[in-house]
Amino acid sequence: MKTIHINCDLGEGGDYDKQLMPLISACNIACGGHAGTVESMQHTVDLAMANAVEIGAHPSYPDKNNFGRISLQMNPKELRRTLVAQILSLKQITEAEGAVLTHVKPHGALYNDAYINAEVAQSIIDAVLEFGDELVLYAAEGSVISELAKGKLKVRYEAFADRNYNADGTLVSRKETAAVITQKEQVLDHLFSMISEGKITPQKGQKFDTFATTFCVHSDTPNSVEILQYLQRELASRNVEIYKA
């Protein structure tokens, strides 16, 4: 049976974390930039440990008012400093609970900016390297950050099961109504094309290659639990299972 790796952004104040955690391989925990408190981080780490789920940091621009989904113009040193503080806060909590922090995945506008902006990308890389080179960086293949990180950090290429793509490999903006795929059957088709064919189908244009080894489903999609339960059932019928540590 083929095994795939599913990640999910959690600890963001959503209502579904407890139901989602058993259905995923890895969680990316909000650590104070766009969302997250000491209490929410502790709770989410405990949930992850109870469900054998890998624990990662999900840092962002320091902008809770806009949920980290708007680009901020920040001095590279200031950006690195806030990212280090966010990652450190979760790392300390994770280790205090007896678990291990495995990876870092930037959130929202920070993730999108690092796709094309070398200065932002380098600030993220520098922040992660403050903790050595053992933390895995989740990044989109073909992105500036994934290229800059080569030889410095372990990079895990990520694709999005519940997001539509543009033909150039970027995500359709959340300002557009078709940005998020909410129909579970469409999410399955989108994901299974990546798994079985190694292809992403953009909203417009020709399919393009993907070498992703982790696939994201967003927790703040209203029917995210239903989507993941459906994926688990339907993938199993196609001899694909979701990895658990």
Instruction: Determine which of 136-140, 202-206, 208-212 has the lowest per-residue pLDDT on average.
Output: 202-206
Read off the pLDDT of each residue in 108-130 and give the average, rounded to a whole number.
Answer: 97
For residues 200 and 159, the answer to whether their CB atoms sit within 8 Å is yes
Predicted local distance difference test score (pLDDT) of residue 61: 98
Residue 102 has pLDDT above 90, yes or no: yes
Among 15, 58, 10, which Cα is nearest to 33's? 58
Predicted local distance difference test score (pLDDT) of residue 221: 87
For residues 26 and 245, what is the distance between their CA atoms, to the nearest angstrom?
A: 9
Read off the pLDDT of each residue in 172-193 and give the average, rounded to a whole number.
Answer: 95
CA atoms within 13 A on the CB side of 121: 22
131 Cβ neighbours under 8 A, 6+ residues apart: 87, 88, 91
Predicted local distance difference test score (pLDDT) of residue 222: 84
Containing 135, the helix (H) or strand (E) segment is: none
Residue 70 has pLDDT above 90, yes or no: yes
In the CATH hierarchy, which top-level class contains the domain 2-162+212-242? alpha beta
pLDDT in tens, 9-66: 999 999 999 999 999 999 999 999 999 999 999 999 999 999 999 999 999 999 999 9
Predicted local distance difference test score (pLDDT) of residue 2: 95
Predicted local distance difference test score (pLDDT) of residue 38: 98
Could you tell me the sign of the dihedral formed by the alpha carbons of 58, 61, 65, 67, in that order?
negative
pLDDT band at 172 (very low <50, low <70, confident <90, very high): very high
108 Cβ neighbours under 8 A, 6+ residues apart: 34, 60, 61, 67, 68, 69
Structural domain boundaries of the chain?
2-162+212-242
Predicted local distance difference test score (pLDDT) of residue 93: 98
Provide the 3-class DSSP secondary structure of residue 139: strand
For residues 202 and 206, what is the distance between their CA atoms, to the nearest angstrom?
A: 7
Provide the 3-class DSSP secondary structure of residue 156: strand
Predicted local distance difference test score (pLDDT) of residue 115: 96
Predicted local distance difference test score (pLDDT) of residue 245: 81
Predicted local distance difference test score (pLDDT) of residue 23: 98
